[in-house]
Structure 1
Amino acid sequence: MKKLLIILVLLAFGSSDALAQKKEVVRRRFFTLGQDRTEIITPKVKGFNCYKADLHVHTIYSDGDVTPRERIREAWYDGLDIIAITDHLGARRYEKYMLKALRKYNPDEQPYPYSHAGKCGRVMVDFNAVFEEADKEAAKYPDLLYIHGTEISRTQSTGSDYNALFVKDIEAVFDKDPYQCIRNARAQGALITHNHPVIRRDKCVMTEFEATAMAQGLFDGIEIVNGNTFYPPIMRRAVDNDLYMVGATDTHHPVSAVFKSLGIFRTMTLILAKENTEKAIKDALLKRRTLVYCGGNIMGEEQWLRPFFDASVTCRLQFEDKKAGARTFVITNNTSFPFILRKGQIVRELKGMESIRVTVKRSKSGEWQDPRYRIDNLWLPDDKRPTWTLKVSK
């Protein structure tokens, strides 16, 4: 009995020692794998919401390096409200890599000859299937509008390229005649944007094809910014021909490799509309309610740029020193976009969601003055920057 008791006591101590030992650590997680959406704060302008859109991007189904699913995810995480995938209808250089990788699916295990729609006379890719792939991903982000589009690419003689937005059946768009190709898209209710109108040129002049297409009313909009390049003279062309203005990345690579590495928002079109639906966005484009953002600059017609600025920036009187003849104001930026305020040689940066204090002296005639600046990062047609007096809240 005494031996049994000793054995039980020893076992009890042994069990306690085992329980006291720590479990083996097999993994340590230093951070959570995840990504937050970049929320870009915009103002409400004249009763319209300000939607952020990229209307020109590419995927692996033409000459991009990213899948349609990833383009949708990029757009949402970058803070966009609207994305249009616009793969080239004819030029598809990435196709040769896919055909080579999949050659063993063919009976002779040889890759199908790399096709070019402009040469073979027909489209070899089921672009509607590409839309379905992107649609499934877009369904995960109900607040993101995905627009079906395609880029109609031609030779230099026909002038640049053209995006067809809001197409319904991309297979029915292609035609060897570029005029007919655009007409086919318009027959589906698509809007046509003239892309990068100064590409491969030294001057902002239209080719014969572009002039004819413009005269026939085949264009609805035009890019004044492509990627990181601004075309100032094209703003005047847009105004004179009643075209909506677009700024787009035209990205072929991952967006993070370009814009995020620079610490700036991606190039985008700001569309002023009542709601984020195809009908409302299409209506806003046709009525030219757009502004363009690129690298901290915003471009557009004064009828929309001025109210955008007024809705973004508030100014209030903080202190009035009658003896010194000066007043102090607090200027607040209620958006994510910066504004560069210039008064002669003095330049102040009003960063997004921040405030600055400024002092304004009486005029030479003794009158009180409100803050007045040239806004160096806002652009109007004819390569002009506006000089505006800030509206002081009562």
Structure 2
Amino acid sequence: MPSPSRSATALPLLCIFTLAAVPMLNAHDHGVTELKENRRPQHRKNLRVPDLPGYKTLKCDFHMHTVFSDGMVWPNIRVQEAWQEGLDAICITDHIEYQPHAKDLPTNHNRAHDIAKDPAAQSNILLIRGSEITRGTPPGHFNALFLEDSSKLVADKGAAADAPALDAAAAQKAFIFWNHPGWKAKQIEGSYEWIPFVDKLHQEGKLHGLEVINGFGFHRKALDWCIDRKLAVMGTSDIHNLTANDYDFANGRTRSMTLVFAKERTNAAIREALEAGRTAAWSSEYLAGPEELLQGLVQGALSIGPVHHTDAKGVSYREIRNDSDLTFTLLETGEKTGLPDTIELHPGTTRMLSSANMEAATEKATYHVKNAFIRSETNLTVKLSALPVK
């Protein structure tokens, strides 16, 4: 009897392996196979931003919208996004005077906060009640935080109601900040200035902060106004769509936010820090805020290692580390030391330094932080010798 061909013997084996790849039927699944592997894992990104001595660094977004004004999402989505992206606190600030969805949803200025309240508590997200007071530009838009009842704010859009609209928020002892001061600088001449209306608010103690970073805009002049008048530096997303739709998270970007240096992780502590001006604005690579606070972030994020090797030519080697999710681009200034002119420290990275005269070079080396601003045209300055050695 002739022996079977190789192809004849391979066919049954092929059938066996093909059948083995098909999921086994489960008598208890009622004929429905669950494809759990397709679900997106539910996890929270742990944003690594250093605490400052005596303070916790809270990641906060105090400007966002839902379908209860001109946003595109239900309020609980804002909570889900905040949890997934590593935030500590949020404030939904739907417009009072602008209600484009009024034909589809009844106007209820407290409803977005009320819907988000339980999901926020379950997700360990601090939720603050707030609203956006939406006046014509100038004077522009203002956010009011820590409101008691948003329905008591002024809905009249007329210019005559501009001052009463802010007074109504002040009557509730709200923390008020001026939103995106330069958003119409090109269209409306004179709108991006320290205008009399805003100055009067400030003089009366009704203005407490300025939005220096709003979404994808860095309003640099506003930083100077904050520093000169000791107002809180605010950074916000002003998000209307899904954050994942607008921000390039796949390439490591973060939403724009406020870093609040609070005594503890509570709403009351956030308010105390805001009123004291212990804040900085952060948006991916960019930082803006008072010099002493940004120096604290640098000291907490960066460290320099001891010399770990000296070669036969007398060249010594040591590392500089960034243990945070902040980005630091260091540009050497002043006397050249032989160390790199530029040191790029992306989140969670380490760079190698080498020098034939390492101790002297480290002692002299001074760098501007290109992406950290203490005024509109002034970068933070750091000395390598001031960094902690670890």
TM-score if structure 1 supplies the norm length? 0.81
**Offset at residue 72 of structure 1 (A):** 1.1
Matched, 1:42 2:49: yes
**Offset at residue 376 of structure 1 (A):** 1.6
- Residue 354 of structure 1 corresponds to 349
- Residue 304 of structure 2 corresponds to 315
**Offset at residue 385 of structure 1 (A):** 1.4
Matched, 1:27 2:33: yes
Matched, 1:139 2:118: no
Amino acid at match of 1:242: K
**Offset at residue 225 of structure 1 (A):** 0.7
Which deviations, in whole Å up to 9, do the C-alpha atoms of 1:48-84 show, x marking residues without a partner? 1110001100000000001111111111111100101
1: CA distance between counterparts of 2:222 and 2:315? Answer: 42
Instruction: Give the counterpart of 1:195 among 146, 159, 179.
Output: 179
Segments of 5+ residues of structure 1 without an aligned counterpart are 1-21, 100-123
**Offset at residue 372 of structure 1 (A):** 3.4
- Residue 141 of structure 2 corresponds to 161
1: CA distance between counterparts of 2:356 and 2:280? Answer: 34
2: CA distance between counterparts of 1:272 and 1:55? Answer: 15
Matched, 1:369 2:362: yes
Structure 1 residues 87 and 28: alpha-carbon distance in aligned structure 2, compared to 1, 3 A threshold: closer
Structure 1 residues 261 and 179: alpha-carbon distance in aligned structure 2, compared to 1, 3 A threshold: farther
Query: Counterpart of 1:134 in 2: which secondary structure?
Result: helix
Matched, 1:229 2:204: no
Are 1:64 and 1:94, in contact at CA under 8 Å, matched by a contact in 2? no
Instruction: Give the counterpart of 1:268 among 257, 260, 285.
Output: 257
1: CA distance between counterparts of 2:185 and 2:49? Answer: 35
Count of aligned pairs between the two proteins? 344
- Residue 116 of structure 1 corresponds to none
Are 1:228 and 1:295, in contact at CA under 8 Å, matched by a contact in 2? no
**Offset at residue 125 of structure 1 (A):** 2.0
Which deviations, in whole Å up to 9, do the C-alpha atoms of 1:177-212 show, x marking residues without a partner? 222222221222210010001111146313332233
2: CA distance between counterparts of 1:23 and 1:266? Answer: 45
Matched, 1:340 2:329: yes
Query: Counterpart of 1:369 in 2: which secondary structure?
Result: helix
Identity %: 27
Which deviations, in whole Å up to 9, do the C-alpha atoms of 1:211-250 show, x marking residues without a partner? 3323323210000011111011111101122210001010
Structure 1 residues 94 and 41: alpha-carbon distance in aligned structure 2, compared to 1, 3 A threshold: same
User: Residues 70-109 of structure 1 correspond to what in structure 2 (within 5 A)?
Assistant: 70-96=77-103, 98=104
Query: Counterpart of 1:349 in 2: which secondary structure?
Result: strand
Are 2:50 and 2:300, in contact at CA under 8 Å, matched by a contact in 1? yes
Structure 1 residues 285 and 361: alpha-carbon distance in aligned structure 2, compared to 1, 3 A threshold: farther
Are 1:360 and 1:369, in contact at CA under 8 Å, matched by a contact in 2? no
- Residue 279 of structure 1 corresponds to 268
TM-score if structure 2 supplies the norm length? 0.82
Segments of 5+ residues of structure 2 without an aligned counterpart are 1-23, 334-339
Matched, 1:214 2:202: yes
Which deviations, in whole Å up to 9, do the C-alpha atoms of 1:263-322 show, x marking residues without a partner? 401111100012121110000001111111113111111111001101111112224649
**Offset at residue 155 of structure 1 (A):** 1.1
Query: Counterpart of 1:156 in 2: which secondary structure?
Result: coil
Are 2:68 and 2:108, in contact at CA under 8 Å, matched by a contact in 1? no
2: CA distance between counterparts of 1:209 and 1:333? Answer: 43
Query: Counterpart of 2:382 in 1: which secondary structure?
Result: strand
CA RMSD in angstroms, aligned pairs only:
2.3
- Residue 256 of structure 1 corresponds to 244
**Offset at residue 32 of structure 1 (A):** 3.5
Amino acid at match of 2:171: A
Which deviations, in whole Å up to 9, do the C-alpha atoms of 1:325-359 show, x marking residues without a partner? 64322111111122112237843321222222112
- Residue 379 of structure 1 corresponds to 373
- Residue 19 of structure 2 corresponds to none
Are 2:180 and 2:214, in contact at CA under 8 Å, matched by a contact in 1? yes
**Offset at residue 34 of structure 1 (A):** 3.2
Are 2:99 and 2:107, in contact at CA under 8 Å, matched by a contact in 1? no
Amino acid at match of 2:100: R
- Residue 54 of structure 1 corresponds to 61
Amino acid at match of 1:289: R
Query: Counterpart of 1:298 in 2: which secondary structure?
Result: strand
Query: Counterpart of 2:164 in 1: which secondary structure?
Result: helix
Structure 1 residues 369 and 325: alpha-carbon distance in aligned structure 2, compared to 1, 3 A threshold: farther
**Offset at residue 387 of structure 1 (A):** 2.7
**Offset at residue 126 of structure 1 (A):** 2.2
Matched, 1:69 2:50: no
2: CA distance between counterparts of 1:266 and 1:352? Answer: 15
Higher Cα Rg: structure 1 or 2? 1
Structure 1 residues 325 and 47: alpha-carbon distance in aligned structure 2, compared to 1, 3 A threshold: farther
Query: Counterpart of 1:171 in 2: which secondary structure?
Result: helix
**Offset at residue 28 of structure 1 (A):** 5.7
2: CA distance between counterparts of 1:322 and 1:252? Answer: 56
1: CA distance between counterparts of 2:350 and 2:263? Answer: 29
2: CA distance between counterparts of 1:322 and 1:93? Answer: 69
2: CA distance between counterparts of 1:285 and 1:330? Answer: 36
